[in-house]
């Protein structure tokens, strides 16, 4: 049975996927059962993740619990931002226009291009030799 006070949002970016739960609280942030500050060591990444909460001025009104998997730190940060924005809209639909205007509800569709056979990478070619 779901809690009526709890909001949920799924965020995705590259190969990372984040399940975000927002509960009324004091602003406590937990990622994979670890404190937010220790899971993400980079300040720039922390700023990216907090953007939807800062924009809607709800930083200290929710406890954020996140399960994130796949990808690297940047992809996980983008997935978290997307998931938090979606959870905020589920909690309060009036925030949708603000978050949509800032671009937080749009999933970034860019994925890694596959490596092709006969080449060292997706686009790079081996050096051409005429003789």
Residue pLDDT, tens place only, 49-59: 999 999 999 99
Over residues 12-27, the pLDDT tens digits come to: 999 999 999 999 999 8
pLDDT at 34 over 80: yes
Mean pLDDT in residue range 29-48: 93
Q: 7-102 — its CATH code?
A: 3.30.230.10
Over residues 76-127, the pLDDT tens digits come to: 999 999 999 999 999 999 999 999 999 999 999 999 999 999 999 999 999 9
According to the model, what pLDDT value does residue 131 have? Answer: 85
> 3-class secondary structure for the chain?
CCCCCCEEEEEEECCEEEEEEEEECCCCEEECCEEHHHHCCCHHHHHHHHHHHHHCCCCCCEEEEEEEECCCHHHHHHHHHHHHHHHHHHHCHHHHHHHHHHCCCCCCCCCCCCCCCCCCCCCCCCCCCCC
């Amino acid at each position: 049975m779901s809690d009526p006070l709890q909001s949920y949002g799924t965020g995705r970016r590259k190969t990372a996927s984040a399940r975000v739960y927002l509960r009324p609280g004091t602003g406590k942030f937990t990622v994979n059962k670890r404190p937010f500050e220790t899971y993400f060591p980079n300040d720039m990444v922390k700023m990216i993740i907090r953007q939807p909460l800062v924009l809607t001025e709800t930083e200290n009104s929710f406890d954020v619990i996140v399960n994130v998997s796949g990808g690297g730190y940047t992809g996980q940060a983008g997935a978290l931002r997307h998931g938090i924005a979606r959870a905020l809209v589920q909690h309060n639909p009036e925030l949708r226009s603000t978050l949509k205007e800032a671009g937080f509800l749009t999933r970034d569709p860019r994925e890694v291009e596959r490596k092709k056979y006969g080449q060292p990478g997706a686009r790079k070619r081996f050096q051409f030799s005429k003789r």
